[in-house]
Amino acid sequence: TATEIHQFLGLAGYYRRFIEGFSKITRFRCGANAKGKESDLRRCRVEQAGYGITDTWDEIVDKLMKIASTTFEGVNERVTELDTTVRQRTDEFKIHFEKAQDHRALLRARVNTLFRDRPN
């Protein structure tokens, strides 16, 4: 549904921001800590490899934003069609209801006339 798509995009944007912020911090840490210790260098490589996730997330989110806009347009179109259909059906119902009321009024008038004209 549209709500689920918007929720997913919100979460994707949140994680994208989270990972981007994390990658900036790790770049700073790698520069400060990479003085020659092997464990620090290994950690830097892992953190830098994680930075590629941000690019992937950017691509995914961009594609989802394009899909979401077309999905949103599709939902708007369907809602407009539904509104039009409901209005048409409501108008048709009103016409049938008025005809039925007119028919009942005509029958009532005939019954009253017959009742008045009956022999005593």
Domain range for 54: 2-117
- Short-list 56, 47, 48, 44, CA closest to 15: 56
pTM of the predicted model as reported, rounded to 2 decimal places: 0.36
Task: Report the distance separating Cα 40 and Cα 34, nearest Å.
Answer: 6
Q: What is the pLDDT of residues 93-105, one digit of tens each?
A: 999 999 999 999 9
| pLDDT digit string, tens, across residues 1-45 | 667 766 666 665 555 555 555 445 444 444 444 455 555 545 554
Which carries the bigger pLDDT value, residue 65 or residue 119?
A: 119
- As a whole number of angstroms, the distance between CA 86 and CA 93 comes to 10
The torsion angle over the Cα atoms of residues 81, 79, 6 and 4, rounded to 10 degrees, is -90
Q: Whole-number mean pLDDT of the chain? A: 69
The listed range with the strongest mean pLDDT (8-17, 49-58, 74-83, 97-106) is 97-106
Our count of domains for the chain comes to: 1
